[in-house]
Amino acid sequence: MVNKNWKLAGLILVLPLVLSACTWPWQKKAPDPIVFPDLKPPVESESPAVSSSKELGSQIHKFQDYKELSAWLAENNNPEQILTRGPVLAESFDTKALSPEYGGGEVIDYSSTNNQEAGVDEADIIKTDGQYIYALVKSELLIIKATPAVAAEVVSRIVFKSRPQDIFIAGDSLAVFGSDEQIYNLPLYSTFRRYNPYAFFKTFDISDRSKPKLVRDLKFEGSYKDARLVGDYVYFLTETYGAYASNEPLVPRVIDKDKVLSVDCAGATSCFSPSVYYFDLPYNSYSFTSITAINLKDATEDITGDIYILDSGQELYVSQNNIYITYTQYLNEYDLEQEVKKNIISVRLGDEDKQRIVDIESAPNHVLNIHEKKIKIAQIIDRYLASLDNIAQEALSKEIDSGLAKLLQEREADMEKTIIHKIAIDGSRLVYQGFGEVPGQLLNQFSLDEEGDYFRVATTRSEQWSRLNNSPAASYSNLYVLDKDLKIIGRLENLATTERIYSVRFMGSRAYIVTFKKTDPLFVISLADPTKPVVLNALKVPGFSNYLHPADTAGNKLIGLGRDTEETASGGVQVKGIKLSLYDFTDTAKPKELSNFLIGDSSSNSIALEDHRAFLYSQAKELLVVPAVLYENGRLNFSGSLIFTVNSTGLELRGRIDHSDGGRSSQSDYWNGYGYYDNTAKRSLYINDDLYTFSNNFLKINSLSDLSEIKSLRLTPVSDDYIITQPDPIDSIETPPVVGNNEPAATGTSAENSDQSNQSSDIDQDLEEIAPGGAIDDLPPSL
């Protein structure tokens, strides 16, 4: 969460000031560094026979060499995997840094990405170092001189042919990455027989912000899943389905500057030879989950990493010491029924059919995979059933139903569970630590939290349907505490029956969980004794919160962002507009909703409802900024950012910063699973006393003191010649000012740099051009 960018010898003089401003008592202290000689991988089993995934904590296997991997892939090829050609569609805390440009000792106060975990930076579309802003606008990366605000301007841009998804910055290094859409045009790609998607990862030297230099160009076979920056290292996760093919690399390719890195490091100047781990599980559909450690500041250091053959991953949580990869595993009632039928009927079969089952089960996987074996055995069992008369069939059916009901009760906890894999990290080194499992499924990354030697997990157990019952088993929520070996040591189950988790926030020795069906029970749970989680209280209010954010240094107050709701006459629930709430749990016996703010109708939306990185909060500045698209009575009337004051008494709307350019029509856009328009505000940040709000159209700069506009940089050229009807005011009574609405946008262009704006240089197939100087208004019309 805290991005420290200390650059001067005066560090010691200001360090106490900075730390006192940036560290919250309830926040996790930076954990002690791992001493890796004491970290040992789990013992590998000599016997591959495993009856339950619970027994696999010490049953991980590492292929001794790629020849062994080849044999395993040939035996266990994904049955549905085919070789196809062509593309596959595929918290804000105050940060202070010293700036040499501000007289050497001046402290710059700026916000960082709204990261979940202290010391772990999450990838995003916009970053700042307090002097420059780095922002992705569609296929362009803009480097913007942000201070002084009145003279803010684009100093360079990098145009990509493959649209970037996220970035990182660290000192004078910039990483840009995303799905590689140009790989299919490379002559090298035509030589591949495995036509998987690829992800690109490019590193630039930005010591001269006006002239970025490409220093590392990597392509990873697989889909980009997520990334984190810890220290100097980016941990880059990709996922690809394994497809065995002769004369093809056994592990996903890594391409460095159009050259495939060799997996044989003997005598190679540059190579990538990851270890590959697997489990003795009957994989339904496995994938190669690759974790690659990339030194962001040293492009000459070889990449390192490991590959894990897992079911498809879902959520990622990273602490300063560990990576946790999770996925949900389901147990199919049909499979259980077939198991019961086989156990009951197989003893009654004739010798010939018994031998057929033995032959099927003993067949090598490359002859019959596990799914084909199940089908063939079921055919034998069903053929026997069909040979019986009606009375015998009915008697057997009752026996099967009774056996299935018993088995369902025994395996109830396994019907839906979350598998958690733990991997220790230390710079370029990764060491697999083991895995655990808990009943239910996760909501998102905030369902996971590491606190010292404990790992906390919040899950929802979904409704369970069975053909044996007329109504489903109700959903409920749970909280589990696991030890460092991922064994459950504390549990709180059957929380809020019939409801699902809508948001979670772990804060020190507390957990806050929102569940919802008709009202919003916000539970506060004590984790002071990890072995005995206990509900302290619950606050019920209309609506629900999609996101919870800490609001004070003690961890007693929090902000909820979600939706207002209303119960209908028929007993249902009508979802209404956006709702912000300030909660106070200082006295857990008497929790309060100090204040709330409702705005817009049910069509209104905010990216921050689904993406926490769009949520900006500073307790020191009493500042909260949320992007919003607002409708009233089904009619769009605002697109921009809402600015609130938050203090001990409540929250209050100060004003709005409009990004719609006076109602001008806007192009639609789709990015990272979000559909929106160019006038949709996506992010906000502050530098000193200035607020920067960001959309595809603009980077708007406003004074934090009165929200007056200082400057507006147009980032996307105007592409039309008409104006739509000016939207109606949001309120008919006193309304906070809409800053910037109907005002012409300043271009932010520097005349002295305009002659540089046409400069470009081809870098490679993916990187279209780097152009120094000027805002995008200065570019040729064709661009």
**What is the reported pLDDT for 266?**
80
Residue 23, burial from CB neighbour count under 10 angstroms (0-12, 13-18, 19+): middle
pLDDT tops 70 at residue 737: no
**What is the reported pLDDT for 228?**
98
pLDDT tops 80 at residue 722: no
Q: Let me know whether 345 and 293 are in one domain.
A: no
pLDDT tops 90 at residue 522: yes
Query: pTM score, two decimals?
Result: 0.84
**Which of the pair, 530 or 283, is modelled with greater confidence?**
530
The percentage of residues in the chain with a pLDDT greater than 70, rounded to a whole number, is 79
Give the DSSP letter string of 368-416.
S-HHHHHHHHHHHHHHHHHTS-HHHHHHHHHHHHHHHHHHHHHTGGGSE
Q: Let me know whether 250 and 348 are in one domain.
A: no
Its domain, for residue 707, covers 603-742
Residue 408, burial from CB neighbour count under 10 angstroms (0-12, 13-18, 19+): buried
- pLDDT tens digits, one per residue of 159-189: 999 999 999 999 999 999 999 999 999 999 9
**What is the reported pLDDT for 78?**
62
**What is the reported pLDDT for 412?**
87
**What is the reported pLDDT for 557?**
95
- pLDDT tens digits, one per residue of 390-445: 999 999 999 999 999 999 989 888 899 999 999 999 999 999 999 999 999 999 99
Pairing status of strand 738-739 against strand 650-658: parallel
pLDDT tops 70 at residue 12: no
**Which of the pair, 458 or 554, is modelled with greater confidence?**
458
- Split at pLDDT 50, 70, 90, the class of 609 is very high
Considering the domain boundaries, does residue 667 fall inside one? yes
Considering the domain boundaries, does residue 533 fall inside one? no
Q: Let me know whether 707 and 667 are in one domain.
A: yes
Weakest-pLDDT range from 99-103, 316-320, 532-536: 99-103
Considering the domain boundaries, does residue 83 fall inside one? yes
- pLDDT tens digits, one per residue of 631-683: 999 899 999 999 999 998 899 999 999 998 877 778 899 877 778 899 999 99
Pairing status of strand 709-714 against strand 259-260: unpaired
Q: Let me know whether 282 and 377 are in one domain.
A: no
> Which residues neighbour 526 within 8 Å (Cβ) at sequence distance 6 or greater?
509, 510, 533, 534, 535, 536
Q: At what angle do helices 370-386 and 333-345 cross, to 10 degrees?
A: 50
pLDDT tops 60 at residue 337: yes
Q: Let me know whether 307 and 396 are in one domain.
A: no
- Split at pLDDT 50, 70, 90, the class of 154 is very high
pLDDT tops 50 at residue 617: yes
* Whole-number average pLDDT of the chain: 83
- Split at pLDDT 50, 70, 90, the class of 781 is very low
- Split at pLDDT 50, 70, 90, the class of 287 is confident
Q: Which residues pair with 723 in a beta bridge?
A: 664
**What is the reported pLDDT for 97?**
53
Considering the domain boundaries, does residue 307 fall inside one? yes
Q: Let me know whether 195 and 291 are in one domain.
A: yes
- Split at pLDDT 50, 70, 90, the class of 9 is very low
**What is the reported pLDDT for 369?**
80
pLDDT tops 90 at residue 106: no
Structural domain tally of the chain? 3
DSSP state of 452: T
**Which of the pair, 26 or 763, is modelled with greater confidence?**
26
Q: How far is CA 224 from CA 158, 237, 674, in A?
A: 21, 6, 16
> Which residues neighbour 660 within 8 Å (Cβ) at sequence distance 6 or greater?
638, 639, 640, 666, 679, 727, 741
> Which residues neighbour 41 within 8 Å (Cβ) at sequence distance 6 or greater?
60, 62, 431, 432, 433
**What is the reported pLDDT for 460?**
95
Considering the domain boundaries, does residue 143 fall inside one? yes
Distance CA 309, CA 520 (A): 39
Considering the domain boundaries, does residue 2 fall inside one? no
- pLDDT tens digits, one per residue of 450-493: 999 999 999 999 988 888 887 888 899 999 999 999 999 999 99
**What is the reported pLDDT for 567?**
85
Q: Let me know whether 704 and 615 are in one domain.
A: yes
DSSP state of 276: E
Q: Let me know whether 305 and 228 are in one domain.
A: yes
pLDDT tops 80 at residue 233: yes
- Split at pLDDT 50, 70, 90, the class of 61 is confident
**What is the reported pLDDT for 342?**
93
The percentage of residues in the chain with a pLDDT greater than 90, rounded to a whole number, is 60
Write down which residue in 312, 329, 350 finishes a domain.
312
pLDDT tops 60 at residue 625: yes
Q: Let me know whether 236 and 367 are in one domain.
A: no
Give 182-187's long-range contacts (Cβ < 8 A, gap of 24+): 182/765, 182/766, 183/219, 184/86, 184/87, 185/765, 186/258, 186/765
pLDDT tops 90 at residue 332: no
Considering the domain boundaries, does residue 258 fall inside one? yes
- Split at pLDDT 50, 70, 90, the class of 768 is low
- Split at pLDDT 50, 70, 90, the class of 773 is very low
Q: Let me know whether 126 and 163 are in one domain.
A: yes
pLDDT tops 80 at residue 385: yes
**Which of the pair, 145 or 14, is modelled with greater confidence?**
145
Q: Let me know whether 144 and 256 are in one domain.
A: yes
**Which of the pair, 77 or 674, is modelled with greater confidence?**
674
Write down which residue in 389, 410, 431 finishes a domain.
410
Q: Let me know whether 265 and 373 are in one domain.
A: no
Considering the domain boundaries, does residue 67 fall inside one? yes
pLDDT tops 80 at residue 774: no
pLDDT tops 70 at residue 512: yes
**Which of the pair, 20 or 721, is modelled with greater confidence?**
721
Please give the average per-residue pLDDT across 521-535, as a whole number.
Answer: 96
pLDDT tops 70 at residue 718: no
pLDDT tops 80 at residue 102: no
